[in-house]
Amino acid sequence: MKNHLYLALLFFTLMGSAPLAAAEAEQPTIYTIVQGDTLWGLSKRFLNDPYYWPNLWAANQTIGNPHFIYPGQRLRVYSDRIEIEDAREAAKPAPTKEEPAKVASEPVREEPQAAGFSVTGSEGFLMENQIQPAGMIVSTHQNRVMAGEDDIVYTDIGRVNGAEPGDRFSIYKRMGAVSHPINNVILGDRVIPLGELQLSEVEEKVSKAIITKSFQEIGAGSFLLPYRDRRVTVPLRAADRDVVGYIVETQTGNTALAVRDVVYLDLGDAQGIKPGNLLYIVRDVTPDQRYAMAKIEKLPVEVIGALVVVEAGINSSTAVIVKSVDTVYRGDRVELKKSR
C-alpha cells in the first residue's frame, strides 16, 4: 500500500497562492524601503499585523536573512498583503504613483486574520518516555500479516480500561529510538501515524475493532493513543522568551532537508515552546583569526531558514520547515527570539 501521508499547507501564504480576481484589480501603493525599516515594522505599519512578517520573508527569495532588508527596495502594498519587487519588476514603468517614504500612510482596511496554515496530522512526533500507549493491536483478522481500511483487528483494550463500543483510537508505529545529535542522550522514539480504528465489541480485557482509516499498512504490534483530530490550522504565535535548541530527527530519517520537510526538536512545553512559534535555523560562522587585527570571539550567526512548530510535547516538538536558503541538516541549531 502506498504511503498517502502528505503535508497540506493550505492556508499559509508562505507557499504562495493565486490572488483573487478582486485583488488583481486592486492598485497597490508603492513604498520604498528606507534606513531603519524592518519586516516586523512594515507588517505592523501597513497591515496592522506584525506577525505577517514571516509570510513576507518566506515568500520573497530576494530576502536571504530575515533581519536585513535594504534601502531602495520597493514594496507593493495591498489591503491584505505586501509584495517585494525584484530588480526587473522595479525597472518597469509602474501604473501607480509612488508614495514618498516619509509620508507613507496606512491603507484603510479591515482587521486582518492571523496568519496560519493547516496540517493533516501525518507529521508524526517524538514519543517521549512519559507517554504511555493506551493499548496495542494484538492480532489481525485471520492472523493476516497486514490490515487496511475496513479490516478487523483485535486490541488489548477492554472494559477494565474504561473502554466502550464506539471509542476511537489513533494507530501508530515506532520507528526507532532517537538520540540527540550533540550529546547522544536518548530522547524517545520516532513514531508515525498508520491510521484510525473504532471499537466494535468490548470484553473485560480485550476488544474487537474496525480500521476506519489507514495511511500505511497496519499490523500486530502497532500501538494506540486516544483519538484526537490533528488536522488543524496553526496560527503564528509570538515568542515570549528566547530559546535555543536543535533539530534532533526528521520524519523521513533523511539528513538533508528543505522546505516542507517535517522535523523534531529537543524543545517542548517545558522550554516554553508553543504551536505556532517560528524559529530561525542558524549556523555559527567561524572567523579566520589570521586576518583579524584583534582576537574575534564570535561572529553573527548565519540564518539559513525557518520552521514553524505544529505540535509541542513536554520536552520535544514537531515542526515544519517553511523557508530555507541553504540545505538544512539534522543537528542544525534553532533559535526562538522574543524580539522578533
Same domain, 63 and 112: yes
Same domain, 132 and 86: no
Q: What pLDDT digit, counting tens, does each position of 21-34 carry?
A: 444 556 888 888 88
What pLDDT score was predicted for residue 217?
A: 93
Per the CB < 8 A criterion, the answer to whether 224 and 244 are in contact is no
Please indicate, yes or no, whether residues 142 and 223 belong to a single structural domain of this protein. yes
Q: What pLDDT shows up at residue 15?
A: 44
Whether 270 has a pLDDT exceeding 80, the answer reads yes
Q: Are residues 221 and 253 both part of a single domain?
A: no
Contact 40, 57 (CB under 8 A): no
Residue 271 has pLDDT above 60, yes or no: yes
Confidence tier at 110 by pLDDT (50, 70, 90): very low
Domain of residue 186, CATH code = 2.40.10
**Residue 299 contacts by C-beta under 8 Å, 6 or more apart in sequence?**
284, 285, 286, 287
Q: Does 142 share its domain with 179?
A: yes
- What confidence tens digit (pLDDT) does each residue in 257-268 have? 998 899 999 999
Residue 155 pLDDT grade (very low, low, confident, very high; cuts 50, 70, 90): very high
134 with 52, same domain: the answer is: no
Same domain, 97 and 172: no
Alpha carbon 120 to chain centroid, angstroms: 11
324 and 241 assigned to the same domain? yes
For 162, residues 6+ apart whose C-beta sits below 8 A from its C-beta are none
Check whether residue 95 and residue 133 sit in a common domain.
no
Residue span of the structural domain in which 288 resides: 237-336
Per-residue confidence (pLDDT) for residue 300, from 0 to 100: 83
pLDDT exceeding 90 applies to what percent of the chain?
A: 46
223 in any annotated domain: yes
Select from 184, 201, 229 the last residue of a domain. 229
Q: Measure Cα distances from 84 to 13, 32, 97, 102, 293 in Å.
A: 14, 10, 16, 18, 39
One domain, residues 100 and 20: yes
In a domain, 41, yes or no: yes
Number of domains in the chain: 3
- Give residue 40's pLDDT: 67
Measured distance CA(50)–CA(43) in Å, rounded = 5
Is residue 2 included in any domain, yes or no? no
Q: Examine the domain organization and report whether 218 and 137 are in the same domain.
A: yes
Domain boundary among 197, 229, 261: 229
Listed residues 118, 148, 164: the one ending a domain: 118
Inside any domain, residue 4: no
Tell me the per-residue pLDDT of 58-75, one tens digit each, with 9 for 90 and over. 666 556 555 556 677 788
62 falls within a domain: yes
Residue 30 lies in a domain: yes
pLDDT at res. 17: 43
pLDDT, tens digit (0-9, with 9 covering 90-100), for 71-101: 777 888 777 677 777 654 544 554 554 545 4
Task: Please state, in angstroms and rounded to a whole number, the distance separating the CA atoms of residues 166 and 293.
Answer: 73
- What local confidence, expressed as pLDDT, does residue 113 receive? 40
Based on the fold, state whether residues 67 and 141 are members of the same structural domain.
no
> Cα torsion at 115, 128, 248, 137 (round to 10°)?
-90
Q: Residue 172 and residue 263: Cα distance in Å, rounded? A: 17
In a domain, 28, yes or no: yes
CA distance 213 to 206: 21
Distance CA 11, CA 56 (A): 15
Closest CA to 192 of 289, 278, 127, 118: 127
Q: pLDDT digits over 226-235, tens only?
A: 998 878 888 8
Domain CATH code at residue 312: 2.40.10.340
